Amino acid sequence: MEKNVLNSVRVVLTGAAVLISMTATTAHAANGLKAKYENLGCKEYLNSSQSSDSLTSKCVSLGARIDAIETRISKIYSRKNNILDVLWSPNSDPIQDNFDKLEEKIVKLDALLEKLEAKL
């Protein structure tokens, strides 16, 4: 029985390590999306009254990519919550802090996307 418990703990801790790695990767992806968003000219597009078919196409394409990343983040987030229920109390959750920061970035990206969609 002790061996089974120990194996279960190892599996959960391995899962937590994977989630920490995924958090860093996902945060990097979210930052990369924001940089690409700005580099494509979408920010300037939102602030101007002019429209360009080429720029509109790029912004729409970027919006689709942002949606895909958000879907992946959502899946990671729900898996992380299952593991955290086993490992940590809500008051001391280092992974939750990372996800909170990531969630803030996603909210900002979502707000930018909404502004873009309003302009299109």
Full DSSP string of 60-119: HHHHHHHHHHHHHHHHHHHHHHHHHHHH--TTS-HHHHHHHHHHHHHHHHHHHHHHHHHH
What is the share, in percent, of the chain residues with pLDDT greater than 90? 0
- Give the torsion sign (CA, 24, 29, 31, 32): positive
- Residue at 71: amino acid letter: T
Give 1's DSSP letter: -
The number of C-alpha atoms within 13 Å of 37 and in the hemisphere containing its C-beta is 24
Residue 71 is predicted with a pLDDT of: 72
Angle separating helix axes 53-87 and 2-39, nearest 10 degrees: 160
Widest distance between CA atoms in the chain: 69
Q: What is the pLDDT of residue 27?
A: 54
What's the pLDDT band for 41 if we cut at 50, 70, 90? low
pLDDT, average across residues 81-97: 57
User: What is the distance between the alpha carbons of residues 2 and 89, in angstroms, rounded to a whole number?
Assistant: 23
Q: Does residue 105 have a pLDDT over 70?
A: yes
Has residue 31 got a pLDDT over 60?
Answer: no
